[in-house]
Amino acid sequence: MAFPLPRGITPPEISFLAEMEMVSILPRQRLEGLELLGGPIEPLLPPRRATLPLWLALLLKRQRRANILPPSWLHPESLSLILDIETQHGDTKGAFSPPPPLPNQPSAQEHYQKRPVAIPHYTPDGNRYFPSSPFLPQNVAVDQGPVGEAPRLPFHWLEVGTMLLEAASDDLVDPDQTRRLLKELREVRSSKMRSGVDVLQSAAVGGNLVSLTGVGAMEIGENRGFISGVVDGLRRIGASKEQARREQMAGEMGSGGYGATQDDDDDDDMEF
Amino acid sequence: MDIDDILASVDQPDAFTPQSTALDHQLLTRFWVAERGVSELLPWPAGLMDRTMDRVRRQIEAIEDLAASSSDPYATTTTNNNNNNPTLNLKLSILQTDLSRTQYLVRSLLRHRLSKLSKHSMHYLLLVSPGPSTSSPAQDDDDETNDPHPQDSIPPLPASSSDPATTAPLSPQELAFLHAHQSLLAKHYASSFLSSFPPQLRRLDDNAGGTSMVQAPETKEVVFVRCLVDGARVVVPAADGEEDDIYATAMHVGDVAVVRWEGVRDAWGRGEVEVL
């Protein structure tokens, strides 16, 4: 009555979030800087690039006041590289291609290329705050990406890609090929999502998790109802079993056998 | 918390710098996603909402001033230089779009909180009422002697409802709504069918037979989370009769996982995970 939408953000709301991603534009006219509620935007001076939220970039693009510089991952070459990773790697079969690292995430090549240590922001209430998507520059155009680093699909790849294809296809490199590759990626990844339902059972037990690292926002949105429905159904079925297991664990904790049981439980953590 | 953390938290940005506006916008967005994603009501972020509403108010005033200056030709010729005028409409539409986006976030957040409140109204009333365990036995004694009304089972409002600490997860406005809503509901139940029941069956928070009639939100439902610091642990909260929480699987930074909400609630409160 008060609010008709179900629990968990719905696909239109995910698009709304994706519109907060920052993208690079090449303005065609001057505009002074503005203080918006979503943060300040820099002044637009035509030959210089600017970084704006996607919704504003699309607004300017539709009025032919700017060109959008496509992010480096939204390029046929990068997309086919990612598609190769998604389809070929034997050892990571079933897992998604790795997502772009968070600022405070150690990368694989850290030993020779020292990353700046992420200093957490602080909220006015004094808590630590680590920014994440959509407030990371995952979709800005960079001239020279890190050498030797494979392109990564950002969290909002499907939404940003679709919106840019729809509104700014003349700014993209080979939009038809890009569209085809995005569609292929989507199919490969959604079949992985479907084939992973077997491990959902382990999430129905308390304290366990099912890892979905690398998944996109819209892919979560599509599968949220199904996954939470399945896991909650399994949890209700297994409630009495779990209760018995807890009692057994509590008993073993008393007799000192607690460490052994916990190791067993950790093995239940499976990758998709 | 080490000394750097303390220094950094003392060195907080001023509430009215553009940086703090951007930070609050990110916090509001994250809180909105979390509130939409989990089944129970999250603690009311009083400071964040006050700052956001204050900014919205000032932004509306700024837009009105700008719109007034554009419609008043005398003012524009005297105060503005010429290259400002062509972009004025563009500026106005950008500012209004931005305002609408923030208003949408706030509206969606509040409406979703209200829907959670009205779904589990008794649960939240008992949660915020002072000492429900001490007051209910006294009321039970009354039930034997007087003619009870279902309204009696509504806990009284906390005395100092203006103090945010007593209303824990609710804002004062939400608390007032909750109380009025439940009173109306109890009156309606009483007049439509509860008055024809035997007196001992009329309470709305009956827990005879070991099952409580008060429905609580299901904290075991799964949520999608992303881990933001290394080594955040999934917790199995202690059940009745157990003393310690069990710490299970640890997550690594950047991991996205499907996990029970009760297992990551504390980590969410510390900002170690975000709900997706």
CB contact under 8 A, A250 and B242: yes
Q: Which domains, and CATH codes, for chain B?
A: 13-71+86-129+167-214 (1.20.58.1030), 222-275 (3.40.5.60)
Tell me the ipTM for this assembly.
0.80
Confidence of residue B190 (pLDDT cuts 50, 70, 90): confident
Average pLDDT over every residue of B125-152: 52
- The whole-model pTM stands at 0.80
The per-residue pLDDT for B106 is 92
Q: Is some CB atom of chain B closer than 8 A to the CB atom of A234?
A: no
Contact predicate B175/B157, CB 8 Å: yes
Q: Which domains, and CATH codes, for chain A?
A: 11-100+132-205+212-232 (1.20.58.2050)
Q: Is the dihedral of CA B255, B24, B33, B166 positive or negative?
A: positive
Structure tokens of B153?
Answer: 């089972």
Confidence of residue B169 (pLDDT cuts 50, 70, 90): confident
**B17 pLDDT above the threshold of 50:** yes
CB contact under 8 A, B114 and A2: yes
Structure tokens of B106?
Answer: 């706030």
Confidence of residue A271 (pLDDT cuts 50, 70, 90): very low
The distance in angstroms from the start CA to the end CA of chain B is 27
Predicted confidence (pLDDT) per residue in A60-71, tens digit: 888 888 888 888
Compute the distance between CA of residue A198 and CA of residue A261 in angstroms, rounded to an integer.
Answer: 23
Which residues of B are less than 8 Å from A231 in CB distance? 222, 258
Using CA atoms, how far residue A270 sits from A206, A208, A260, B149, B166, in Å, is 14, 9, 19, 54, 42
Instruction: Work out the percent of chain A whose per-residue pLDDT is above 90.
Output: 1
Average pLDDT over every residue of A50-59: 90
Token pair 């680093």: residue: A149
Which residues of A are less than 8 Å from B23 in CB distance? 121, 123-124, 129
Predicted confidence (pLDDT) per residue in A205-246, tens digit: 666 777 788 888 888 888 888 888 888 888 888 777 777 777
CB contact under 8 A, A203 and B13: no
